[in-house]
Amino acid sequence: MTVLFGIFLLTLLVITAVGIVRSENLFAAVMLSGIFSLLMAANFFILDAADVALTEAAVGAGISTVLLLGALALTPIQERRNRAGRWVALGVVTVTTLMVVYATFEKPRLGDPQAPVHQHVAPWYLEQTPELVGIPNVVTAVLGTFRGYDTLGEVIVVLTAGVGVLFLLGLPGAVGHRKREELASGRSYLGHHLIPQVVGQLLIPFILLFALYVQFHGEYGPGGGFQAGAIFAAGFILYALIAGEREALTIISPRFLMVLMAGGALLYGGVGILCLLLGGSFLDYSVLASDPRTGQQWGILAIELGVGISVAGVLLAIYHAFAARGR
Amino acid sequence: MAFWIDLLSFVLLVGGGVFVLIGGIGVLRMPDLYTRMHATGLTDTMGTLLVLGGVMLQAGLSLATIKLAAIAIFLLLTGPTASYALSNAALLSGLRPKAEWLEPGSDR
């Protein structure tokens, strides 16, 4: 049954991808890419990767679509015709496809216990997590403590992306020469529609509550800082759509957004430094409390909070950078 | 008792599936955006609600049922709102319903 679902979803995925490539209307392409992410999330879910599915749904289908739409407000809606270099592109795609198809010949069957991925470090993580960390969700343990360096790197990548976008587009009131007061007050995308306004105001508290649940429940179920940050940003983007850009930037000021962006990453790095000062090694949370396992759990909570703050700050800053410019 | 619950949930699931199917056919067959949205409205509300109801009966009184109910309430709130926002945006951007162009009394 799972195989049937998988074939169905992957077929839809290929159809969507072809649709994205063939579509000359960029708006339709953005919508299709949102559908692509949603199908991808469903695929991850039937492969039992609930954490990845949640991330893909929140970031890929949710925030990315909104950011691409924001970027589309600055560009023409039709793709420019470009006939040059089509044969080169076709050649590159063909060669890459053949290489990927060739690589699948040696691929182990799905779920094969003899596959290298199940023989390498994965069994060690599964065995040691209850003993060393003591939390039920092994994914969070791997992400937060065993592979803490990688996750720190990911947060820095997110932060760098945000800084890059802000350098290019500016954020009124924080980066660039435009003042926040110049944004027209009261103008908003949905401001004059009563029904979306009422329903949106009804939903925003629950969206933020759900973000907090995903943030702090990551040790027990699917979730964590990346997903929670994206959901939190989605809640505030909804508020910006309803109440207007200027009102949203009054609640979370552009300067405070900068503080959030950098502060999350700093909190993550600071936990690492604290571990060093307490006599452990960098990002080894065992020294944070008298019991090593409690220390690990505190450390994971703290760094996940840092990830969530940083991701929410970066996504909101990028959204506002696009939305404030598109008028 | 278990048989009747299964039967009811079967009826709800099949009913939901039929509504989704009708919505899909409607999107393909209807002439313009507004009538197509009318068709997808069936999928959004009746289709999903009936399927969720059927799944809720299968889950019994458990945490899963409460989660499904929360999803149902969320969809009941957001689905019609999204439809409204979409049709309103289409109307404001100048897309007219096709039905207006038909002559009164024409047999189409």
Residue A114 placed within a domain: no
For residue B88, list chain A residues with Cβ-Cβ distance below 8 A.
193
Distance separating alpha carbons of residues A228 and A61, to the nearest angstrom: 15
CA distance A116 to chain B (A): 36
Domain with A222 in it: 137-327
Residue B12 placed within a domain: no
Domain with B41 in it: 25-61+69-87
Give the pLDDT score at A102: 92
Residue B5: pLDDT over 70: yes
Residue A46 placed within a domain: no
Residue B99 placed within a domain: no
The structure tokens listed for B28 are: 């393909």
Q: Do residues A150 and A306 touch, judged by C-beta distance below 8 A?
A: no
For residue A198, give the chain B residue with the closest CA.
Answer: B81
Number of folded domains that form chain A: 1
Distance separating alpha carbons of residues B5 and A14, to the nearest angstrom: 39
CA distance B4 to chain A (A): 26
Give the pLDDT score at A186: 46
Residue A29 placed within a domain: no
Q: Do residues A233 and A311 touch, judged by C-beta distance below 8 A?
A: yes
Number of folded domains that form chain B: 1
Inter-chain touch A196–B84, beta carbons under 8 Å: yes
Residue A35 placed within a domain: no
With 0.90 as the threshold, say if the pTM is over it: no
* Predicted-complex ipTM score: 0.78
Inter-chain touch A196–B81, beta carbons under 8 Å: yes
Give the pLDDT score at A36: 95
Give the pLDDT score at A189: 61
pLDDT in 10s for each residue of chain A, 327 residues: 888 888 999 999 999 999 998 888 998 999 999 999 999 999 999 988 888 899 899 888 889 998 898 888 888 888 887 777 788 989 999 999 999 999 888 888 777 788 877 788 888 888 888 888 888 888 888 888 888 899 999 999 999 999 999 888 888 777 777 777 666 554 556 666 788 888 888 999 999 999 999 998 877 877 788 899 999 999 999 898 888 888 888 888 888 999 999 999 999 999 999 998 988 888 888 888 888 888 888 888 899 999 999 999 999 999 988 887 755
Residue A323 placed within a domain: yes
Residue B5 placed within a domain: no
Give the pLDDT score at A232: 93
Residue B35 placed within a domain: yes
Residue A61 placed within a domain: no
Residue A180 placed within a domain: yes
How far lies A306's CA from each of A75, A140, A152, A276, B78, in Å?
34, 14, 10, 18, 31
Is any Cβ of chain A less than 8 angstroms from the Cβ of B14? no
Distance separating alpha carbons of residues B16 and B22, to the nearest angstrom: 10
Is any Cβ of chain A less than 8 angstroms from the Cβ of B84? yes
For residue B74, give the chain A residue with the closest CA.
Answer: A203
Residue A209 CB: number of other CB atoms within 10 A? 12
Residues forming a β-bridge with A175? A171
CA distance A190 to chain B (A): 8
Residue A130 placed within a domain: no
Give the pLDDT score at A79: 80
